[in-house]
Amino acid sequence: MSARGITVRGCGISVPDKVLTNEDLSATLDTSDAWITERTGIKERRVGGITSQMAIEAGRRAIQDAGLEPADIAVVLLATTTPDALVPATSATVQAGIGVPGGAFDLNAACSGFVHGLVAAAGLVAVGSGRVLLIGADALSRITDWDNRTMAVLVGDGAGAVVVEPAEGTGDLLSWNFGADGTLRHLLKCDHGGYLTMDGKEVFRKAVRVVVESAERALADAGFTAADVSLLVPHQANLRIIQAACHRLGIPEERTAVVIDRYGNTSSASIPLALDDALRSGRVSTGDLVLLTGFGGGMTWASALLRWGR
């Protein structure tokens, strides 16, 4: 089959109903709304989610938003760090729940999973797969020690999905890159049956550096500069990381998608949650340059530059 480019069509999200505010956390932990807001930008988060359920709902909404039916999807690709179980793959539960006739597999690259998934979906499309339903879904609340204030104030649950479909010519994905450094495993981890732990300061430092390098490389590879970017959609881990990266890249915050105040860090879901918000607010027009960039445990990082097609 001939190689094809991709276009991103349709977007949908799902978050649990239960809202946990900074005030709620301050009632049980030695923290405060002032500290959390100032150090992270987070005001509230959603908790109590189940990865497959959120992924099914977000996936259905993305298919509907694209004006398609589940039968039009060939592959379900689920980026997640918090599968429902080790076996079976959560994507199979999602495939059955939505009623997609095709294949399904999970991908774990921690918080950069969605960007890895977008590029993997483009690869599938290029070898003739047909449409891929790409979902980023995580229930970090399930692997969080709610007595550990360092982690508890940061995390939230959610899911976001897009349909990635074949396009004429080279399509909308202009450039991409992946990075990983497994020697940094200790900075952010969760062993089987355990809770998330993190060296916050080191993750912060490293995150700003890799995000900037990765984003600049994606721009350079496609022959653009930061001035050409219409919208930056970064992983939402900490508002100060986003601000530091924007500053170093030279992209003003007005051209950056931020939803961390409402959702906290939702890992694989954070980029599609931010993208969906930007789309619904009319912040993305046909022809815009949209730069997605993420980092996470591993450490891993990834960027993808899109010329928005629809």
173 vs 191: CA distance, rounded Å? 35
Structure token digits, residue 98: 């939505």
Answer for which of 14, 93, 256, 265 binds ligand UT7 (CB under 6 A) is 265
Q: Which of 142, 200, 255, 283 binds ligand UT7 (CB under 6 A)?
A: 200
Active site residues: 111, 235, 265
Quick one: which of 150, 197, 230, 243 contacts ligand UT7 (CB under 6 A)?
150
Contact map string, positions 102 to 131, toward ligand UT7, x by CB under 6 A: ---------x--------------------
Closer residue to ligand UT7 in complex, CB, 14/40: 40
- H helix intervals, 130-190: 149-152
User: What contacts 24+ positions apart, CB below 8 Å, involve 27-32?
Assistant: 28/146, 29/147, 29/149, 29/152, 29/153, 30/149, 31/149, 31/153
Write the interaction track for ligand UT7 spanning residues 233-262; mark x where CB under 6 A is met and - where it is not. Answer: ----xx--x---------------------
The secondary structure of residue 226, as a DSSP letter, is G
Give 150's strand partners: none
Beta strands in the chain (DSSP E): 5-14, 19-21, 44-46, 75-79, 103-107, 132-139, 157-167, 173-180, 188-189, 197-198, 231-234, 289-296, 300-307
Nearer to ligand UT7, 95 or 300 (CB): 300
Residues 122 and 6 sit within 8 Å (Cβ to Cβ): yes
Which of 107, 153, 159, 305: binder of ligand UT7 (CB under 6 A)?
153
- Binding pattern for the stretch 155-184 against ligand UT7, x by CB under 6 A and - elsewhere: ------------------------------
> Measured from the CB of residue 278, what is the shortest distance to ligand UT7 in angstroms?
20
Residues that bind ligand UT7 (CB under 6 A): 31, 35, 39-40, 111, 149-150, 153, 188, 198, 200-201, 203-204, 207, 237-238, 241, 265, 296
